[in-house]
Amino acid sequence: MNEQQQTLWQFMSGQSDKLLSQTLQHVGLTFISLILAIAIGLPLGILIARKRKLSGTVLGIAGVLQTIPSIALLGFMIPVLGIGAKPAIVALLIYALLPIIRNTYTGIIGIDQHVKEAARAMGMSKGQILLKVELPLAMPVILAGIRTATVINVGVATLASFIAAGGLGEFIFGGISLNNTNMILAGAIPAALLAILLDALLSLVQKMDVKKLRKALYIFPVVILVLGGFYALPSAYGSTLTAGFTPEFMGRQDGDLGLKSTYGLKIHTIVISDAVMYKAAYAKELDVISGYSTDGRLKAFDLKILKDDKNIFPPYYAAPIVRDEALKQFPELEKTLNLLSGKITDSIMTDLNYRTDYLHQQPERVAKDFLISTGLYKAAKNGQKGTVRIGSKIFGEQYILAEIYSMLIKGNTDYAVSTKTGLGGTKICFDALMNDQIDFYPEYTGTGLLVLLQPNPTIAKEMAHDKEKTYDYVSAEFQRKFKIKWLKPIGFNNSYALMMRQKQSKELNVNSITDLKKYLDKN
Amino acid sequence: MIELKEISKKFGDTQAVKQVFFRVAREETLVLLGTSGCGKTTTLKMINRLIEPDAGQIFINDKNITDEDPNVLRKGIGYVMQNIGLFPHYTIAENIALVPKLLKWDKAKIINRTHELIEKLHLTENTLSMYPHELSGGQQQRVGLARALITDPSVLLMDEPFGALDNVTRTSIQKEFKALEELKRKTIVMVTHDVLEAFELADRICLMDKGEVVQIGTPKELLYQPINDFARNFLAGQRLALAFKVINIQDIWSYLPEEIIHHGESETAELSIWEAMELLRNKDRFELFISGANKTIKSINFEQLTKGFNQYQNAQLHE
- Chain B interface residues facing chain A, Cβ-Cβ under 8 Å? 48, 50, 70-76, 79, 81, 83-89, 98-99, 102, 147
| pLDDT tens sequence for chain B (319 residues) | 899 999 999 998 888 999 999 999 999 999 999 988 899 999 999 999 999 999 999 999 999 999 989 999 999 999 998 888 899 989 999 999 999 998 899 999 999 999 999 998 888 999 999 999 999 888 998 999 999 999 999 999 999 888 878 888 888 888 888 888 888 889 999 999 989 889 988 999 999 999 999 999 999 899 888 899 999 899 888 888 888 888 888 888 888 887 777 777 788 888 888 888 888 887 567 788 888 777 788 888 888 888 888 888 888 776 6
Q: Smallest CA–CA separation between B15 and chain A, in Å?
A: 22
- The answer to whether A118 contacts B102, with C-beta atoms less than 8 Å apart, is no
Q: What is the mean pLDDT of chain A?
A: 85
Q: Which of A122, A126, A143 to mutate to test the interface with B (most CBs of B within 10 A)?
A: A122
**Torsion, CA A132, CA A137, CA A138, CA A143, rounded to 10:** 100
Q: In CATH terms, are A2-229 and A242-311+498-522 the same topology?
A: no
With CB atoms and an 8 Å threshold, state whether A114 touches B79.
Answer: no
Domain ranges in chain A are 2-229, 242-311+498-522, 318-494
CB atoms B87 and A119 under 8 Å: yes
Q: Kindly determine whether residue A125 and residue B79, on different chains, have CB atoms separated by under 8 Å.
A: no
pLDDT of A6 over the 70 cut: no
ipTM beyond cut 0.90? no
pLDDT tens digit sequence for A214-223: 666 667 767 7
- Among A43-57, A322-336, B126-140, B159-173, which stretch is predicted with the lowest mean pLDDT? B159-173
For the beta sheet containing A318-323, the strands, ordered from the edge strand earlier in sequence to the opposite edge, are A416-423, A387-393, A440-444, A318-323, A484-486
Dihedral through CA A143, CA A146, CA A147, CA A151, nearest 10?
180
* In the predicted structure, residue A1 carries a pLDDT above the cut 60: no
Across the interface, which of A114, A121, A211 has its CB nearest the CB of B48? Answer: A121
- Chain B residues whose CB is inside 8 A of the A125 CB are 71
Cβ-Cβ contacts under 8 Å, B81 against chain A: 114, 117-118, 121
The predicted-structure confidence for A439-482, as pLDDT tens digits, reads as follows 999 999 988 888 888 888 777 777 767 788 889 999 999 999 99
* CA distances (Å), origin B7, targets B46, B58, B63, B203: 9, 8, 16, 22
Per residue in A442-464, is it b (16+ CB within 10 Å) or e — as a string?
bbbbbbbbbbbbeeeeeebeebb
**DSSP secondary-structure letter at A509?**
T
- Contact between B173 and B165 (Cβ < 8 Å): yes
Residue whose C-alpha is closest to residue B20's, from B48, B56, B50: B56
Nearest to B199 by CA among B230, B132, B244, B229: B244
Least confident of A326-330, A434-438, B103-107, B178-182: B178-182
Considering only the beta carbons, identify the residue of B84, B89, B98 that sits closest to A122: B98
Nearest 5°: the CA angle A498, A503, A504 is 60
- By Cβ distance, the residue of A114, A137, A211 closest to B85 is A114
Beta partners for B288?
Answer: B300
**Main-chain phi, psi angles of B260, to 5 degrees:** -130, 170
Query: B157 and B189 in contact (C-beta within 8 Å)?
Result: yes
Which chain B residues are within 8 Å of A119, Cβ to Cβ? 85, 87
Q: Would you state the pLDDT for residue B144?
A: 92
Q: Which residues contact B294 (CB under 8 A, 6 or more apart)?
A: none
Sign, CA torsion A402/A407/A410/A413: negative
Contacting residues of A for B52, CB less than 8 Å apart: none
- In sequence order, the 6+-apart residues with CB closer than 8 A to the CB of A276 are A74, A75, A78, A83, A162, A163
Query: Which range, of A225-234, A259-268, B110-119, B184-193, averages the lowest pLDDT?
Result: A225-234
The DSSP bridge partners found for residue A272 are: A163
- What are the beta bridge partners of residue B298? B290
B75 contacts in A (CB within 8 Å)? 122-123
Beta bridge partners of A291: A497
To the nearest whole angstrom, how far is the Cα of B53 from the nearest Cα of chain A?
16
Which residue from A minimizes the CA distance to B98? A122
pLDDT in tens, A126-150: 999 998 899 988 988 998 999 999 9
**pLDDT confidence band for A247 (50 / 70 / 90):** confident
Better-predicted residue by pLDDT, A299 or B216: B216
Residue type (1 letter), B208: M
What is the model's pLDDT at position A237?
Answer: 40
CATH class of A318-494: alpha beta
Q: Chain B closest CA to A360's CA: distance in Å? A: 56
Residues of A with CB under 8 A from a CB of B: 112, 114-115, 117-125, 128, 133, 136-137, 210-211
With beta carbons under 8 A apart, name residues in chain B contacting A124. Answer: 71, 98, 102
Q: What is the DSSP string of A341-392?
A: TT---HHHHHHHHHHHHTS---HHHHHHHHHHHTT---------S-EEEEEE
Judged by DSSP in three states, B91 sits in coil
Q: Which residues lie closer than 8 Å to A245 by C-beta, 6 or more apart?
A: A255, A256, A269, A270, A271, A272, A289, A290
Radius of gyration of chain A (CA): 27
For residue B89, the chain A residues in CB contact (below 8 A) are 136-137, 210-211
Please report, for residues A46, A269, A355, the alpha-carbon distance to residue A276 in angstroms, rounded to integers and kept in the order given: 37, 15, 18
CATH architecture of A2-229: Orthogonal Bundle (1.10)
Query: Looking at CA atoms only, how far is residue A141 from chain B in angstroms?
Result: 14
Domains of chain B: 2-244 (3.40.50.300), 247-317 (3.90.1280)
Which among B72, B74, B86 has the least Cβ separation from residue A121?
B74
Domain at A242-311+498-522, CATH class = alpha beta
Region A33-61 average pLDDT = 91
Does the pLDDT of residue A189 top 60, yes or no?
Answer: yes
Task: Please indicate whether, in this complex, the C-beta atoms of B89 and A123 are within 8 angstroms of each other.
Answer: no
Contact between chains at A122 and B102 (C-beta distance less than 8 A): yes
Residue A230 confidence class, pLDDT cut points 50, 70, 90: low
pLDDT of residue A216: 64
Least CB-CB distance to A136: which of B50, B89, B147? B89
How high is the pLDDT of residue A3? Answer: 42
Determine the Cα–Cα distance for residues A63 and A67; give it in Å rounded to an integer.
Answer: 7
Nearest residue on chain A to B89, judged by CA atoms? A210
Closest partner residue to B79 (CB to CB) among A115, A121, A125 is A121
Q: Using alpha carbons, select from A407, A404, A409, A397 the residue that is nearest to residue A447.
A: A397
- Find all residues with CB under 8 Å of A329, minimum gap 6, and list them: A386, A439
- Tell me which of A405 and A225 has the higher pLDDT: A405
b/e B200-214 (16+ beta carbons within 10 angstroms → b):
bbbebbbbbbebbbb
Q: Is the pLDDT of residue A228 over 70?
A: no
Q: Is B110 left (phi over 0), alpha (psi -120 to 50) or beta?
A: alpha
DSSP B260: B
Nearest-neighbour CA in chain A from B97: distance (Å): 11
Would the CB atoms of B87 and A211 count as touching at under 8 Å? no
Q: Which of B70, B88, B147 sits opposite A137 (nearest CB)?
A: B88
Higher pLDDT, A10 or A304: A304
Q: Identify the CA nearest to A299 among candidates A320, A315, A278.
A: A278
pLDDT, tens only, B211-255: 999 999 999 899 888 899 999 899 888 888 888 888 888 888 888
Q: What is the phi/psi pair of residue A53, to 5°?
A: -60, -30
What confidence score (pLDDT) does residue B277 get?
A: 86
Say if the Cβ atoms of B72 and A123 lie within 8 Å. Answer: yes
Helix (H, G, I), strand (E, B) or coil at A463: helix
Give residue-wise pLDDT tens across range A389-403: 999 888 788 889 999
pLDDT at B150: 92
Amino acid at A295: D
% of chain B with per-residue pLDDT over 90 = 46
For residues A515 and A523, the answer to whether their CB atoms sit within 8 Å is no
pLDDT tens-digit map of A339-389? 999 899 888 998 898 888 778 888 899 999 999 999 999 888 888 888 999
Sheet holding A242-245, edge to edge: A268-271, A242-245, A288-292, A496-501, A303-305
Hey, what amino acid is at B313?
Answer: Q
3-state secondary structure of A309: coil
Element containing residue B173 per DSSP (H, E):
helix B167-179
CB pairs A-B closer than 8 Å? 59
Determine the angle formed by the axes of helices A85-109 and A55-67, rounding to 10 degrees.
140
Nearest to A401 by CA among A422, A381, A385: A422
Give, as one character, the DSSP assignment of residue B26: T
Choose between A6 and A241: higher pLDDT.
A241
- B84 with A210: Cβ contact below 8 A: no
A161: pLDDT confidence band, cut at 50, 70 and 90?
confident
Residues of chain B contacting A138 with CB distance shorter than 8 Å: none
CB A287 within 8 A of CB A311: no
Q: What pLDDT is attached to residue B127?
A: 92
CB atoms A122 and B147 under 8 Å: yes
Nearest to A115 among B73, B79, B87 (CB): B87
